[in-house]
Amino acid sequence: MTASGSAVRHAPADLPPPPIALPPRAALFLDLDGTLAPIMPRPEEVGPDARRAALLDDLARALDGRLAVVSGRALEDLDRILEGRVGAVAAVHGLVRRGVHGVDRVQPHPDLDAAREVLRDLARSDRGLLFEDKGLSVALHYRNVPSAADAVVEAVERLARSSDLVLQLGDMVAELRTPGQDKGRAVAAFLREAPFVGAVPVFVGDDLTDEDGFAAAARLGGYGVLTGPERPTQATYRLNDFNAVLAWLSAAIHEAPA
């Protein structure tokens, strides 16, 4: 078993909001759920949004294309929600990455087959649980039945201990995924490619899965912005919710050099 995540640096109450002006030659790496979109009862309920679409178009122009979405969702799902507006995308926590040279995918780990059957059976036993199969990972969402949290986490931890899969706990979801990549490595890979080469990374996310992205951004000369409630984190700044993120990004466009 491998557990995802990095050692934290900041105490929960340390974080101010980010400066309006982005760093010179900034590159934005944005999570989706809880960051660009609200957390919905069912993941498939998140869809295209006119306000978000216009903002992403404006950001891409202002940053000369240095914009990427880095999410736990599958690539096809991200393209559906974002209407194909963002070319640079890291999906399934970095296990799938679409950059300037096309799409890179790791091979699914054989241990996923057994985990898939167990989690699917658990979802069948409780109609409030949502099973999600991303090909390279499997997840069980319990946001509709919070009382099932302990049982779900215990089951997934037990599967992780008996396999080589990465255990990933998120916002009301427990996930087992193929090892080998994470959001931080995806950020580093983008920064080795055009148009991101030489950019200052700014990573914005809400979940524990985003801690690797925060750490990579700090290591590579930028910073992270945590979205949501205070918690120990490697981010440098914090915003309250996705609406605050959209407002901040809108303001940042107007501060960008012409």
pLDDT of residue 246: 97
Q: What is the pLDDT of residues 193-209, one digit of tens each?
A: 999 999 999 999 999 88
8 in a structural domain: no
What is residue 257's predicted lDDT score, i.e. its pLDDT?
Answer: 58
The string of pLDDT tens digits covering residues 223-247 is 999 999 999 999 999 999 999 999 9
How many domains, the chain?
2
What is the pTM (predicted TM-score) of this model?
Answer: 0.89
Confidence of residue 11 (pLDDT cuts 50, 70, 90): low
CATH of the domain at 219: 3.40.50.1000
Q: Is the pLDDT at 64 greater than 50, yes or no?
A: yes
Mean pLDDT within 89-101: 95
Same domain, 237 and 249: yes
Give residue 4's pLDDT.
Answer: 53
pLDDT score recorded for residue 7: 45
| Residue 28 and residue 101 in one domain | yes
User: Confidence band (pLDDT; 50, 70, 90) for 6?
Assistant: very low
Q: For the segment 145-190, what is each residue's pLDDT rounded down to a tens digit?
A: 999 999 999 999 999 999 999 998 888 899 999 998 999 999 999 9
Average pLDDT on 56-76 reads 96
What residues contact 32, with CB distance under 8 A and at least 6 apart?
46, 69, 71, 73, 78, 81, 82
Which residues are part of the catalytic machinery? 31
Of 177, 203, 220, which residue is a domain's last?
177
Residues 117 and 58 occupy one common structural domain: no
Is residue 10 assigned to a domain?
A: no
Whether 211 is covered by a domain: the verdict is yes
Mean pLDDT of the chain: 92
Please compute the mean of the pLDDT values over residues 85-114 and round it to a whole number.
95
Give the gyration radius of the chain's Cα atoms: 18
At residue 45, the pLDDT reads 93
Q: What gap in Å lies between CA 234 and CA 218, rounded to an integer?
A: 8
101 domain-assigned: yes
Given this model, what pLDDT does residue 10 score? 59
Of 160, 177, 194, the last residue of a domain is: 177
Mean pLDDT of 67-79: 96
151 plus 171 within the same structural domain: yes
Q: For residue 143, give the CATH number of its domain.
A: 3.30.70.1020
Helices and strands, counts by H and E, the chain: 7, 13
Do 102 and 187 fall within a single domain?
yes
Residue 93: phi and psi, rounded to 5, are 60, 30
Give the domain-ending residue among 156, 177, 198: 177
Q: Is 52 within a domain?
A: yes
User: Does 202 reside within a domain?
Assistant: yes
Query: Would you tell me the crossing angle of helices 112-125 and 149-161 to the nearest 10 degrees?
Result: 160
Residue that is written with structure tokens 């300037």 in the block = 100
pLDDT computed for residue 9 by the predictor: 59
Is pLDDT of 133 > 50? yes
Rounded CA-CA distance 21/248 in Å is 9
Full domain range(s) for residue 126: 112-177
